[in-house]
Amino acid sequence: MKKEDVPQQGGLNAGCREVNYAVDGDGHYTLEQSVGWEAKNIALRQAWTVIIDQLHQVLAEIRAGQKSPLAYHMIKAQMDPQLLAQYSGIARWRVKRHLKPAVFHKLGDPALAPYAELFGISVEVLREVPDKPDPLLAELDSSEER
Amino acid sequence: MKINFPHRQFAHCESGVTANLLNYHGFPCSEALVFGIGAGLFFGYVPFIKINKMPLTTYRIGPGGIFKKATRRLGIEIRKQKFSSPAAAEKELDRLLASGHPVGAQTGVFWLPFFPPAYRFHFNGHNLVIIGKENDEYLISDPIFEEPVRCSTIDLRKARFAKGALAPKGKIYYIEKMPQQFDLPGAVKAGINDVCRVMLKTPVPLAGVRGIRLLARQLAKWPGKLGEEQTILHLGHVIRMQEEIGTGGGGFRFIYAAFLQEAAEILKNEKLLELSSNCTHIGDLWRDFALLASRVCRGRAAVQDSFDELASLLRQCAVEEEKLFKNLHGAISC
């Protein structure tokens, strides 16, 4: 890659610049800053779109009474029951039970505290879900018409 | 308290951390040199290890490898520690900082608040240097960023004890003793030999040049086997592994080309300059691959035709890399 070809296509970098290696006019390598590249922005947007789609889906399931609010917060944190179990210290079979609305609604604050602490929210917030997914990325929500 | 640690921005976290630590301890060196001596370059396609439910594709050796190999080849004494309890991990970190040691740490990106939100995924192989503590915040030199950053105690605790694949378990590492003198040419040669070996003479068909060919074969089958949606997700996943923050572009091939330029001078070997420009060409090929792949992801290129072209680009990468590492091996053996 030549120095003048270092891409400057921003969008998802939130003001950060990263270093690319490129060759200058004399054929020597230099470090050049870049705000981003289209190819990788596409791949990154795609990964986030998957997460946002999952959030829409899980919200519909919660409204239909098939899943508990914990499922929404879990997916928002890009976790699955196994990872959530490892983080919260609660056994996976119990995490899976907590994803059922009937079980979840009977849980007291102490039982939910490990989840709330992990996600950095209060137990009250954990018990609720928004009508539509929280905006995860300002850049993504404004730049992509979905 | 803050250690006077010269922060330099680099492309890749682990080689940047290692270069900055060596620099602090009186051995000025570039990221590329450390990357080469530590034999960071690799290719691996492991369909049965899943990241986000998709096959692992990697362009570098596993986390910790570059620091370990580079310091060993330079004769530097290091110390590594893992912890079972976050409290013990924090106590030891604070003790080291108080005694004036900048400390390298493995962390999970998801929990680091200074990362751009778009980059915060569950990836646990991110390295940074902790250079001080003020009140409830750690001061951090993260080579990916332009300036040193700050991170609250609680966030760093979560990052150091991230769970899942590659869980860091609070891992820290630091330099204990620098040698009186370095055998730099010897270290450079050992690094080059190591990369040639893993790229060419791997016993498993998943690694090195054979791994690239395997990916080419499998990728050509994706549209028929996985359906369009999954195919595009798989392809996006490969692009991210190749071009995500920290590769310097072209799946580390450009960093390695920069290393070969430095190696040419250290070993007084003109041939390496030519091989460096071959390596740059290979990096460009990988960039072409990523660009075409991203167009497929965006729906701007027809899927089936493009997959044949993508597979043939990969095969071209494999051919060129095979040639490069054979020549490289020859160039330093004589």
Q: Looking at the structure, do residues A13 and A53 belong to the same domain, yes or no?
A: no
Give residue B30's pLDDT.
97
Per-residue pLDDT tens for B217-247?
A: 999 999 999 988 899 999 999 999 998 877 8
Query: For the stretch A17-46, what's the b/e string if a residue is b when 16 or more beta carbons lie within 10 angstroms of its beta carbon?
Result: bbbbbbbeeeeebebbebbbbebbbbbbbb
Whether residues A32 and A51 fall in one domain: no
Task: Look at residue A138 in the predicted model and tell me its pLDDT.
Answer: 63
Q: Are residues A19 and A84 in the same domain?
A: no
Cα separation, B333 vs B231, in Å, equals 43
Q: Tell whether A30 and A79 lie within a shared domain.
A: no
In this prediction, residue A7 carries a pLDDT of 92
Q: Do A74 and A124 fall within a single domain?
A: yes
- Where is A41: in which H helix or E strand? helix A38-63
Residue A97 sits in a domain whose CATH number is 1.10.260
Amino acid at site B23: N
Q: In this complex, do B298 and A44 lie within 8 Å of one another by their Cβ atoms?
A: no
Find which of B124, B233, B239, B313 to mutate to test the A interface (most A CBs within 10 Å of its CB): B239
Residues belonging to chain A with any Cβ–Cβ distance to chain B shorter than 8 Å: 1, 6, 12-23, 27-29, 31, 33, 37-40, 42-44, 46-48, 50, 77-79, 83, 86-87, 136-137, 139-140
The helix/strand/coil state of B271 is helix
Q: Are residues A32 and A56 in the same domain?
A: no
Question: Could you tell me the residue range of the domain that residue A69 belongs to?
Answer: 47-139
* Rounded Cα–Cα distance for residues A35 and B5 (Å): 26
Q: Which residues, including other chains, have CB under 8 Å from residue B195's CB and lie 6 or more apart?
A: B36, B39, B41, B42, B256, B325, B328
Specify the number of domains making up chain A. Answer: 2
A123 and A59, same domain (yes or no): yes
Tell me which of B35, B112, B146 to substitute to probe the interface with A (most A C-beta atoms closer than 10 Å). Answer: B146
Could you tell me which residues are beta bridge partners of residue B98? none
Q: How far is CA B305 from each of CA A8, B160, B284, B292, rounded to the nearest angstrom?
A: 29, 45, 21, 11
Q: Are residues A53 and A118 in the same domain?
A: yes
* B17 neighbors B128 (Cβ within 8 angstroms): yes
* pLDDT value, residue A144: 44
**The complex's ipTM?**
0.92
Co-location of A16 and A63 in the same domain: no
Which residue out of A9, A20, A29 would a mutagenesis test of the B interface target, given it has the greatest number of B Cβ atoms within 10 Å?
A29
Backbone angles phi, psi at B113, to 5 degrees: -70, -20
The DSSP 8-state label assigned to residue B119 in this structure reads G
Residue type, B275: L
Q: What is the pLDDT of residue A140?
A: 64
Residue pairs spanning A and B at CB distance below 8 A: 117
Q: What is the full per-residue pLDDT of chain A (146 aa) written as tens digits?
A: 999 999 999 878 878 899 999 999 999 999 999 999 999 999 999 999 999 999 999 999 999 999 999 999 999 999 999 999 999 999 999 999 999 999 999 999 999 999 999 999 999 999 999 998 988 776 665 444 33
> Residues of A with CB below 8 A from B287's CB?
1, 39
What's the gap in Å between the CA of B132 and the closest CA on chain A?
Answer: 23
What are the residue ranges in chain B where pLDDT is below 70? 334
- DSSP alpha helices (H): ranges in chain B? 13-24, 31-37, 65-73, 86-98, 153-160, 184-200, 208-226, 228-243, 253-266, 271-297, 303-333
Residues on chain A touching B112 (C-beta within 8 angstroms): none
The pLDDT of residue B165: 86
